[in-house]
C-alpha cells in the first residue's frame, strides 16, 4: 500500500483494525461488501486435509490471572483440549449443537492455500 496498492480491508478483530489504521490501510465494514477476493489469517494448527484450529491457548494467560476471556463481540471463550482430532467435521457439528455455543475454533474445509513462515525467513506454500 505504501507503493500505491489500492485495496479495501475488512479487519478480523479490533486489534487488527487498530494496527491497520495506524499504517494507513483503508478499512471498511463487512456489511456493504459484495465479494471478498482474499482472506488471510493465522492458525495454531493445520492438518493434511487443510482443516485449521484457531485460538488454541488464547486465554491461557488470562485464565492464570483468574479473568474471563471475552471476544471483540462480547462472547466468552472456553479453551478445550481434545488431543488428536480424527474427525473434525463431526466434532465441528457436535460442538455447534451445544446450547449456547456461538462458534468454535475449527475451520473445516475452508482453506485453499497454506503458507508457513519460519523464523529464518523460509516460506513454504501448500495448495489444496
Instruction: Answer yes or no: 34 catalytic.
Output: no
Q: Which one from 23, 45, 63, 67 is the annotated catalytic residue?
A: 63
On whether the CB atoms of residues 104 and 95 are closer than 8 A, the answer is yes
On whether the CB atoms of residues 47 and 88 are closer than 8 A, the answer is yes
pLDDT per residue of the chain (128 residues) written in tens, 0 to 9: 888 888 888 887 788 889 889 988 989 988 888 888 888 878 888 999 999 988 765 544 444 476 677 777 788 888 788 888 999 999 999 999 999 998 888 999 999 999 999 999 999 999 99
Q: What residues does each domain of the chain span?
A: 1-38, 41-128
On whether the CB atoms of residues 11 and 17 are closer than 8 A, the answer is yes
End-to-end CA distance of the chain: 28
Amino acid at each position: 500500500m505504501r507503493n500505491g496498492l489500492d485495496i479495501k480491508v475488512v479487519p478480523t478483530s479490533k486489534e487488527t483494525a487498530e494496527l491497520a489504521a495506524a499504517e494507513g490501510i483503508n478499512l471498511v465494514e463487512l456489511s456493504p461488501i459484495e465479494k471478498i477476493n482474499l482472506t488471510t489469517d493465522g492458525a495454531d494448527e493445520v492438518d493434511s486435509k487443510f482443516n485449521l484450529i484457531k485460538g488454541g491457548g488464547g486465554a491461557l494467560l488470562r485464565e492464570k490471572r483468574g479473568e474471563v476471556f471475552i471476544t471483540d463481540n462480547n462472547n466468552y471463550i472456553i479453551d478445550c483440549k481434545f488431543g488428536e482430532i480424527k474427525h473434525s467435521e463431526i466434532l465441528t457439528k457436535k460442538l455447534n449443537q451445544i446450547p449456547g455455543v456461538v462458534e468454535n475454533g475449527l475451520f473445516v474445509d475452508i482453506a485453499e492455500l497454506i503458507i508457513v513462515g519460519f523464523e529464518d525467513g523460509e516460506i513454504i506454500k501448500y495448495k489444496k
